[in-house]
Structure 1
Amino acid sequence: MELRGVDELMDLLSACRGVRAPGHPVDLHEHSLQTAALLRRGRPADKELQVAGLVHDLGRVLRPGDVTGHAEPAADAVRPLLGERVSRLVRLRTPAGRYPGVLEAAPGRAAMSEAEAAAFARDPLAEEALALRQADDAARVPGLDAGVLEDWRTLLELLAARRSRLGAVD
């Protein structure tokens, strides 16, 4: 699925209400808002990273029941609308969870080999992907006020408009 507009993206994000990932104490809607809010607080200048936090789990709604492969459909869905960088950050969130240092905060994941870790560290978006992963892991707090989805509409529209002006070339 490719998202064709911000309204369609907002509808998909709204569809996350009531959907829970295994072991999450909050639904995907609240989790997405918390992830984006944590990134807004920690990386206020990086709007694309914040939006990646907002959309990173959309694959769980696009492919219900697929707990291991949800990053790919989310990344593929948002790329035409939000651009390559947002898509790559969503895609890199999964390997970032296996990166040394991140594993200590979230045991139970298979560690990267030294070669995989070295390759990941060379990626130009590695630092941002690690920030996304850390926010993702922290964004599971019941009752935390992370704002409302509508707070993100203007930024989503700006990113989509910029993508459109650039002729969808990344």
Structure 2
Amino acid sequence: MTQLTHLNAAGEAHMVDISAKADTVREARAEAFVTMQPATLAMILDGSHHKGDVFATARIAAIQAAKRTWELIPLCHPLMLSKVEVNISAQPESNQVYIETCCRLSGKTGVEMEALTAASVAALTIYDMCKAVQKDMVIGPVRLLAKSGGKSGDFLVAS
């Protein structure tokens, strides 16, 4: 079993020293879903939401969140992301909004947390913008889809 890297020999939380690691291209993709009533989804899609373009706002929030993950997750390193991509689409057949994010950099540590944070914040932003019309929306699942680069190698969710 792989050891937890954020615990030192005394079992205390600490930030991992990555200074000796080689820079490699690293990428991670994550997804999130927001399930809502058909009327709420229709309001988003027809542009009648009084707060404006829900998807555009969620996309910008996701990008900002990815860039600031290190401020939100205590033991994350600040990263110089070279790419943050956020795709948001409606899935009317299941009354859901689908969010997929991709983060990339050339660096010493992975970007899984940035991709997951971006997907989560996009979902939270959609909830925030629509809560006045529906409070029982459901966020989830949120999960890592894939990662590449680094010593631990590639990961891809089984289909």
For normalisation by structure 2, the TM-score amounts to 0.29
Kindly indicate which of the two structures has a greater share of residues assigned to strand.
2
Larger radius of gyration: 2
